[in-house]
Chains A and B, each alone.
Chain A
Amino acid sequence: GAVVSQHPSRVICKSGTSVKIECRSLDFQATTMFWYRQFPKQSLMLMATSNEGSKATYEQGVEKDKFLINHASLTLSTLTVTSAHPEDSSFYICSASNAGGNTGELFFGEGSRLTVL
């Protein structure tokens, strides 16, 4: 099946620094990727929808200047957490679909666990 790769899987950084997380679709072109945040024992919270070649669409309450999303190619989307603070510590996971509409499996990256000290 199609594969989505996410990197890094774990990152620890100091407060105030920026962290970039990459999400790559390895064997298909993903015009749309989704970025989620997940708190312990909770569901996935959609942060934004990343569209190739255009600006990301952010969900209500998500700071777009804080969480910068770039989808420069059909196989790569990046999430940059700018000026990270301890409250940004979380599990971030991306997904992509190899088909539009209601069909097409959603493929997930492995997730990135961010810890801000």
Chain B
Amino acid sequence: AQKITQTQPGMFVQEKEAVTLDCTYDTSDPSYGLFWYKQPSSGEMIFLIYQGSYDQQNATEGRYSLNFQKARKSANLVISASQLGDSAMYFCAMKGAGGSYIPTFGRGTSLIVHP
């Protein structure tokens, strides 16, 4: 079975600073994908970044980067130069191959960016 753990229910960061949102996972699948989504108060789920389990390089998308540490089974999201518009819920998710293709989501982290 797959499991995603986000241990930070809430995080605060000053505008323009960097912040790391934690995510650890557990799976028996050798092949899997890790995702981060942002959910603002409007409710839409916005895709941020994807990391495949066999990817050698850490994924980056603009101000978002994924610190993938496979041995530790962690996939932390790093947001650099935080902006007020980054305030939202952030969800870590995982999809496996074969029978574990159903996506699993963490409980989410609420990020608040202070001016």
By a beta-carbon cutoff of 8 Å, the part of chain A in contact with chain B is 1, 32, 34, 38, 41-44, 46, 49, 91, 93, 95, 97, 100-108, 110-111, 113
A-B contact count (CB 8 A): 66
A6 nearest CB across to chain B (Å): 9
B31 touches A101 (CB 8 A): yes
A106 touches B35 (CB 8 A): yes
A102 touches B32 (CB 8 A): yes
A34 touches B102 (CB 8 A): yes
| Partner of A93 from B29, B45, B108 at Cβ < 8 Å | B45
Q: What B residues does A97 contact at CB under 8 A?
A: 95
| Partner of B101 from A42, A100, A107 at Cβ < 8 Å | A100
B47 touches A106 (CB 8 A): yes
B window 47-105: CB within 8 A of A: 47, 50, 52-53, 89, 91, 93, 95-98, 100-103, 105
| Partner of A91 from B33, B43, B110 at Cβ < 8 Å | B43
The complex places the Cα of A41 from the Cα of B109 at a distance, in Å, of: 10
> Quick one: given A44-B91, A102-B52, A108-B45, are A95 and B103 in contact (CB under 8 Å)?
yes
Q: What B residues does A38 contact at CB under 8 A?
A: 43
B92 nearest CB across to chain A (Å): 10
Q: What A residues does B43 contact at CB under 8 A?
A: 38, 91, 93, 110-111, 113
| Partner of A105 from B29, B44, B50, B100 at Cβ < 8 Å | B50
B33 touches A44 (CB 8 A): no
Q: What B residues does A91 contact at CB under 8 A?
A: 43
| Partner of B44 from A41, A106, A111 at Cβ < 8 Å | A111
B56 nearest CB across to chain A (Å): 16
B95 touches A106 (CB 8 A): yes
| Partner of B105 from A41, A44, A102, A103 at Cβ < 8 Å | A44
| Partner of A102 from B31, B45, B106, B108 at Cβ < 8 Å | B31
